[in-house]
Structure 1
Amino acid sequence: MVFISKRSSRLLLSVLTAIGVGLSISAWIMKPAPTPPPNIVLFFMDDLGYGDLSCTGALDYTTPNLDRMAAEGTRFTNFLAAQAVCSASRAALLTGCYPNRLGISGALGPNSPIGLNPNEETLADLLKEKGYATGMFGKWHLGDNKQFLPLQQGFDEYYGVPYSHDMWPLHPAQAQANYPALRWIDGNEPKQEIKNLDDASQITGTITERAVSFIRNHKKKPFFLYVPHPLPHVPLAASPKFKGKSTRGIFGDVLTELDWSVGQILGELKQQGIDKNTLVIFISDNGPWLNYGDHAGSSGGFREGKGTSFEGGHRVPCLVRWPGVVPAGRVSNKLLTTMDVLPTVVKLCGARLPKQQIDGVDWIALLKGDNTVTPRDHFYYYYRKNSLEAVRQGDWKLVFPHPGRTYEGFLPGQGGKPGPSTETHEFPAGLYDLRRDPGERYDVREQHPELVAKLEKLAEEARADLGDDLQKRTGANVREPGRISK
């Protein structure tokens, strides 16, 4: 038996206490600081085609900043716009829903009586609730009435144009249209008029300056920066600094300036020391408006373009960069859509999902490099007000007979004026294997009747849920758009 005096006991207790305190301090010092939630920068181009970046095949101009973004991140080659038209596509991006679920279709004009319902929870709403600063600089196009503008849809700051900048008195194809003056909107207030192409040439630079300023002002807290550039939608205009910079003409000049814009914003993230904690996503709202010819982009060889349910209308570039999180130099061919941005971003940022039903899927595992996962199984190609024109599962796409737009068989326009096209071409049914036939040229229905039956069943699920104007069906889960309060 060992006897310890009171004095020794007190000394031992003091030593042990000191050791314990030291270990606690050491553990506290060594414990890593909690990782702050990521900043989000979301670029959304207008009418940019799949083939309009030099890393996707563009010729006669280069997009070095976007090519670098692809090299430092992941390029997704099977990424689809939810619908191949302006307002519908934007509604899907910000809500994670098929736009026809929200009652939004087509391209809303000036003084539209409807807009995105403020009861819908947007990506900005959800991130703002989580403490994010939210800013948007660019084209809105989800209702130009004050009750529909971005400040009422979750954004703290907004500076941009309320709809497409061809919706003005100088429209080359609709010169007699009774369009009002096109004005910049600052917050909720109309500001200076965009009167002509010289004014329009300042659009990209102005948006870029506002976006860079937003980063500087909010660098010390998490932020969501949404940059929906109005260009390269027609009418095309480049600032004097970029005119004549490419051998592709004005379209190449515009793309050169848009690439510069991306470079300025990426550079500011690095300058402020927040580059490595920022997820940057670059996508487009739909494919190119092909009948504008030399003022339009390239679908990259996919069939048709904007305003159609073929791949040229829906397949868009998608670049994602987040140093140390998203693998660099990777190409992923998994099927994804603009609707999948919201559920992915809110989960990454620790925010909640919307309370109402959405259609997007979370692709975080794929984003971070797990190529074994397949986040999205199928996709519905809706167009016009609510017409189901095709369905896709995996690499198989079944197109239903439908009237629609075609650019094929018409000479494209020149010099900013559109060539002819038709909205009433009767497309026949067809089954396409997008692995071997991404141009959708060879109908293989007779060879795969079991696949036709499987995809027809999928279409029936879509019609029950969302409806189908072609079959005069009403969906059970379609919500109302916002309507101007009287």
Structure 2
Amino acid sequence: MKSLQLFFLITAALILIMGCTPDSNQTTHEPGSDTPNIVLIFLDDAAYGDFSPFMEIRYSTPNIQSLAEEGRTFTNFYVPQAICSASRAALMTGTYPGRNQLFGAHPPKARGLDTQFTTMAEMLKENGYTTGFFGKWHLGDQEDTRPHNRGFDEMAGIMYSNDMWADHPENPEYWGQFPMHYWKNGEVMIDSVTADHQKEFTTWFTEESVDFINRNSDGPFFLYVPHPQPHVPLFVSDKFEGKSGTGLYGDVMMEIDWSVGEIVNALVENGVRENTIILFSSDNGPWLSYANHSGKTPFREGKGTTFDGGIRSPLIISYPEKIEENTVSQNTFFSIDLMPTLAELTGSQLPDYEIDGTDVWDLILGDDGTESPQEYYAFTNGQDFQGVMSGDGKWKLHVPHGYRTSPVGGRDGIPGLYQQAEIDTALFDMVHDPYEKVNVIDEYPEIAERLLRFAEEHRAKFFED
């Protein structure tokens, strides 16, 4: 009898203990767990060749170089549209512009990204992350589409590009109707941004980011830092003015490099660097009509086109002990893949509707030639569908479209003039001809046929009623 009573007591105790034990399938966020913090630094119009890990430069970016040495540099990273709002919406939602219907660059007071689409911040916040945004939003300038209502616990910055103000070089009368506000945590802190304010933007967003890290290092956090620079008009603080010796653009890039160093140092000082994944990239390529106030790319054309000078962006990912240090990858993936990849990495729940990106963690970790989960990627310019790339990045097909080219005359913040050109259906071998110079459609009819089929399927799905 005593043995039976003892059995029941032990059984009851085990049930009680098991009932208090977290489900092994649930994500927990205890300090020191493997759930990573995420820092996403996303520049505006920075070119592929603006940083020393990618090309030789005449100014110094030691912190970005160190970030590359601590992680992996990706030479074949793309955005699906080389224009501000569309690029950011794709990044934040994992969807093509054709699905989320955010094309081009939205002006002040625009509706922006429809709230039916979940942002990366909303996804991570639902999973217990503290979220912070400091920089340029450009995904909506109405009450329910600004960042404080799109998943960010803390925010500070501007709602659209820094040239959309009364000092616009081409149309100041129009833009002067919309005084640029500086927001903080859902409230306007500066009614009308001036040049003196813009000079401090990089410093302010860096200080906000460091403070955010200092206060939230005991739990998982998502820090999104979309700097307004080096989008024109260029501004730099007094501490970096003239420092590069190469002109204002170099000064701006050195200040951005300083910002990266400050953020990394904050992670180190708070003991969370090892458990933080840092992603550093740009929304698209350089705005070439601004000449000495734009960056440089070795690829064809620039911002506002679907050639690689527009849609191929620099990318560095650093995640200590997970991503091999000081390595370079030629694996191809697009910004739409980052949201589902981070969802898998953090155990977060993706939205219940179809998204276009896929988990590419194996590509990020893998050797060159790791098989891509995507059959193809599509690219657009505004609402104009312009072609597809094979999932492995080896082939790129343009369907017939117009594009801007050969800007001349711009200097010191005044844009030059573009010429207009046309391209017919064209296939490029991106392994041997990454500069898209030689149309090889006649030499590879089977590849062209396959990509044309993908192009028609994509057009029918997103661009035809």
Pair in the same fold by TM > 0.5: yes
RMSD of Structure 2 on Structure 1 (CA): 1.9
Conservation of the 8 A alpha-carbon contact between 2:284 and 2:303 = yes
Partner of residue 8, structure 1: none
Pairing 1:1-400 to 2, within 5 Å after superposition: 35-112=33-110, 114-179=111-176, 180-193=178-191, 195-299=193-297, 301-369=298-366, 371=368, 373-375=370-372, 376-385=374-383, 387-393=384-390, 394=392, 395-400=394-399
Contact 1:291 1:418 in 2 (8 A): yes
Other-structure match for 1:4:
none
Secondary structure in structure 1 of the residue aligned to 2:281: strand
Q: Confirm whether residue 441 of structure 1 aligns to residue 432 of structure 2.
A: no
Secondary structure of 2:230 counterpart: coil
User: 2:460 aligned with 1:464, yes or no?
Assistant: yes
1: distance between equivalents of 2:154 and 2:447? 48
TM-score w.r.t. length of structure 1: 0.86
Structure 1: which 5+ residue stretches go unaligned? Answer: 1-32, 468-472, 475-486
Q: After superposition, what is the alpha-carbon deviation per residue over 1:1-59, rounded to whole angstroms, capped at 9, x for unaligned?
A: xxxxxxxxxxxxxxxxxxxxxxxxxxxxxxxx983311000011000011110221142
Deviation, structure 1 residue 367 = 2.6
User: Which one-letter code corresponds to 1:111 in the other structure?
Assistant: K
1-structure distance, mates of 2:429, 2:60: 32
Per-residue deviation at 1:452?
A: 1.5
- Kindly tell me: are residues 157 and 34 of structure 1, through their superposed partners in 2, closer, same or farther at Cα, counting changes over 3 Å? closer
Kindly name which structure, 1 or 2, has the bigger radius of gyration based on alpha carbons.
1
Whichever residue aligns with residue 402 of structure 1, its letter is: H
In structure 2, give the amino acid aligned to 1:437: D
Unaligned runs of 5+ in 2: 1-30
Kindly state the Cα deviation for residue 290 of structure 1 after the two structures are TM-superposed: 0.4
> In 2, distance between residues paired with 1:364 and 1:184?
36
1:233 match: secondary structure: coil
Report the 3-state secondary structure (helix = DSSP H, G, I; strand = E; otherwise coil) of the residue aligned with 1:445: coil
Give CA deviations for 1:320-353 in whole Å, capped at 9, x if unaligned. Answer: 0011111111111011111111011111111111
The alpha carbon displacement at 1:419 in A equals 0.6
Letter in 2 for 1:433: D
Q: Is the 8 A contact 1:290 1:412 kept in 2?
A: no
CA offset at residue 152 of structure 1?
1.4
Q: Is the 8 A contact 1:326 1:369 kept in 2?
A: no
Code of the residue aligned with 1:37 in structure 2: it is: T
Q: Deviations over 1:220-260 (max 9, x none)?
A: 11100000000000000100000001122000000000000
Q: CA deviation at 1:302?
A: 0.3
Secondary structure at 1:403 match in 2: strand
CA distance in 2, matches of 1:117, 1:352: 20
Task: Give the C-alpha shift of residue 448 in structure 1.
Answer: 1.4
Q: Per-residue deviation at 1:90?
A: 0.4
User: What is the CA deviation profile of residues 206-233 of structure 1, one whole-angstrom value per residue up to 9, with x for unaligned ones?
Assistant: 0000000000110111100000000000
C-alpha separation in 1, matches of 2:260 and 2:57: 19
Measure the CA separation in 2 of the matches of 1:464 and 1:405: 26
Specify the SS of the correspondent of 1:177.
helix
TM-score normalized with structure 2 length: 0.90
**Whole-angstrom CA distance in 2 between matches of 1:126 and 1:159:** 20
Identity of aligned residues (%): 42
SS in 2 for 1:388: strand
CA gap of 1:368–1:454, structure 2 versus 1, over 3 A, is: closer
Contact 2:331 2:364 survives alignment (8 Å): no
The aligned residue for residue 13 of structure 1 is none
The amino acid that maps onto 1:420 is L
CA contact (8 A) 2:44 2:227 kept: yes
What is the distance in 1 between the residues matched to 2:395 and 2:193? 47
Residue pair 1:66, 1:259 contacting (<8 A) in 2 also = yes
Contact 1:185 1:191 in 2 (8 A): yes
- What residue identity is the alignment partner of 1:163? Y
Q: Report deviation, 1:297.
A: 0.3
Distance verdict in 2 for CA 1:439–1:371, change over 3 Å: closer
SS at match of 1:55: coil
The letter of the residue matching 2:435 is G
Other structure's SS at 1:404 match: strand
Structure 1 residue identity aligned to 2:363:
L
- Say whether the 8 Å CA contact 2:74–2:331 is kept in structure 1: yes
Match of 1:6 in 2: none
Change (3 A) 1:356 1:224: same
Q: Following TM superposition, by how much is the alpha carbon of 1:431 offset from its aligned partner in structure 2, in angstroms?
A: 1.1
Aligned residues: 435
How far apart, CA to CA, are the structure 1 residues paired with 2:192 and 2:98?
31
Deviations 1:287-310 (A, max 9, x none): 0000100000011x1000000010
SS at match of 2:427: strand
Letter in 1 for 2:46: L
3-state SS of 1:115 partner:
coil
Give the secondary-structure state (helix, strand or coil) at the position aligned to 1:200.
Answer: helix
